[in-house]
A and B are shown apart, each in its own frame.
Chain A
Amino acid sequence: MVKLERTIKFDSDRVPGFGREVMSVPGCEQLESCIQCGTCSGVCPLSIYMDYSPRQVMELTRSDFKNEVLRSTTIWLCASCYACTVECPREIRITDIMYELKQRAIKEGVYPKRFPIPVLAKEFYKMSHTHGRVTENFLATIMFLKTNWVAAMGMWKLGLGLMRRGRFPLKLEAIRRKDELARMMETVDNLAIAQLPNATAAAKKG
């Protein structure tokens, strides 16, 4: 028996206002002018792995298909190489939109359990907030331990290689004025960017 799946999208599958919301972030307004030319997908080195191409993600975002977009592999595969952004004839900041979508996916917890990228982002965030700097090897180790024990074990050779070559420092990097940084971040937490005047009045040009 051939397994069939109905793929029609009804208007109720949309999350009205999602596209507008993403576009209201400074730098993302240009998405409105997308002509779906496909240049972004054409230059993206990772597009060959994505379930929705970058172009499709742009269209789905603009059309409010939030659930499809946040569940795509696309947003995680973006390596931030900016090739799409510099080629887009409408000057849409595609990479920045990908960041926006990543942020929303993480915030809403929409990703597979123990998926490395959000885990890395969260650990990076924690470490840089606590110490002001990131100690790479510790970060990488923590990430592997939290996501994939087996892979972590498989990295022993790399770890040893780095250690022998002096590229695996065991000292924790930190800034002196940690409390200052903490205060700064707390202030941001208490401010919602939408409350600020001219929240979306950003220049259209990159």
Chain B
Amino acid sequence: MKYSLFPGCSLRGTGRAYEESLLPVLKAVGVELEELDDWNCCGATAYMALDEVKACVMASRNLAIAEKLGHKELLAPCSACYLVLNKTKHYLQESPAVRAVVSKALSQANLSYQGDVEVKHPLDVLVNEVGIPAIKQLVKRPLKGLKVIPYYGCQIVRPYATFDDQYNPTTMDRLLEAIGATVVRWPLKTRCCGGSLTGTLPEPGLLCAYVLLKESVKRGGDVIATVCPLCQFNLDCYRDKMADKWGEETVPDPQHKGGAMPVGPHLDMPVVFFTQLMGLAFGLSETELGLHRGFERMKPLPMQAAA
């Protein structure tokens, strides 16, 4: 199996651990990766706010390069990239006007796009193409007893539900179970983390991310598994600000003194990429997987089997 990798700007920046953990995991399952040559930024949500047609052109350049190089499938780990690339494909299919503009623009670069490139997410590829049985076979250290909160976020399931249910996706759940973890059932699987609002309009933005952390604590999770670098950033890196605003809050818990458990001044719920958990299960080291890059480190695994 060979895929072309579209890392996107975040994976080279704050989401570095995603690429760090994705590469060895894909290698282990036998997926060959080649980085898309000279890929450019997909445009993400910020660009869309300015000029949607130009955003399509930006994204189409990548699709056209992939097509030219004969890559039938592009892997886009970042949810925003995944969305923008798919959205562009839809626009190209549905709107003759957009198609015309994009073709003209691409021709300036001696490129064209016929519509033959599929854009996929690593979660889809791992569970649906590589398959759960193959993944199970590679598990050297099942994450037994680790309670994982599966957080999908928005843009991987909405608006294009290409590989999972929009309201109750289970791809990551099945993957986590395959690597031995206990999946926690919770109602906020696909609730928005706040996106770019956490930086631009902190009051509402941070609240979106905070409620996710709070509910994870309440449901007894040990760690949150994410699929998107922006989600991971929002949940991981603003803990101080959240503590300033909501540090005094508690969640009901009969086992705690007073029937209420403090959410914690630093909301110490670790937030990792699902590929990092996979890597741990495959027996790779924490450093290899970039687990040291999180603002809250994962606690030692409940059961350490000999590698």
Task: Report the count of interface residues on B (CB-CB < 8 A).
Answer: 67
Q: How far is the CA of A172 from the CA of B114 in the complex (A)?
A: 32
Prevailing SS type, chain B contact patch = helix
Interface centre among B39, B44, B97, B166 (most CB of A within 10 A): B97
Residues of B within 8 A of A36 (CB): none
CB distance from A1 to the nearest CB of B (A): 32
Chain B 187-208 per-residue mask, 1 if CB under 8 angstroms from chain A, else 0 = 0000110111101110111001
**Chain A residues bordering chain B, tally (CB within 8 A):** 72
Determine the distance from Cα of A125 to Cα of B44 in the docked complex, in whole angstroms: 10
On whether the beta carbons of A134 and B41 are closer than 8 Å, the reply is yes
Per-residue contact bits, chain B 211-250, to A (CB 8 Å; 1 contact, 0 not): 0000000000000000000000000011010000000000
* B65, chain A: closest CB distance, angstroms: 10
- By the criterion CB–CB under 8 Å, are A95 and B16 in contact? no
Interface residues of A in 133-190 (CB under 8 A from B): 133-137, 140, 143, 157-158, 161-162, 165-169, 173, 175-177, 180-181, 183-188
Q: Are B38 and A197 in contact (CB under 8 A)?
A: no
Docked Cα-Cα span, A161 to B14, in Å, equals 11
Contact with A along B17-51 (1 / 0, CB 8 A): 10000000000000000000011110111111111
Q: Within the complex, which residue of B54, B97, B203 is in contact with A198, where a contact is CB–CB below 8 Å?
A: B97
CA distance A99 to B188 in the complex (A): 25
Instruction: Name A residues whose Cβ lies closer than 8 Å to a Cβ of B.
Output: 25-27, 45-46, 49, 76-77, 79-83, 85-86, 93, 95-96, 99-100, 102-103, 106, 116-118, 120-122, 124-125, 128, 132-137, 140, 143, 157-158, 161-162, 165-169, 173, 175-177, 180-181, 183-188, 191, 193, 196-203, 206
Chain B residues with CB under 8 Å of chain A are 9-10, 12-17, 38-41, 43-54, 57-58, 61, 90-91, 94-98, 100-101, 104-106, 108-109, 154-155, 158-159, 161, 166, 191-192, 194-197, 199-201, 203-205, 208, 237-238, 240, 292-295
- Name 13 extra pairs, CB < 8 A, besides A82-B154, A116-B200, A193-B101: A81-B158, A83-B192, A106-B50, A122-B50, A135-B13, A161-B237, A176-B38, A181-B61, A184-B106, A187-B104, A187-B105, A196-B96, A196-B101
13 chain-A/chain-B pairs, Cβ below 8 angstroms: A45-B208, A46-B204, A49-B204, A81-B155, A103-B52, A124-B44, A135-B9, A136-B9, A158-B237, A161-B237, A193-B97, A197-B100, A201-B96
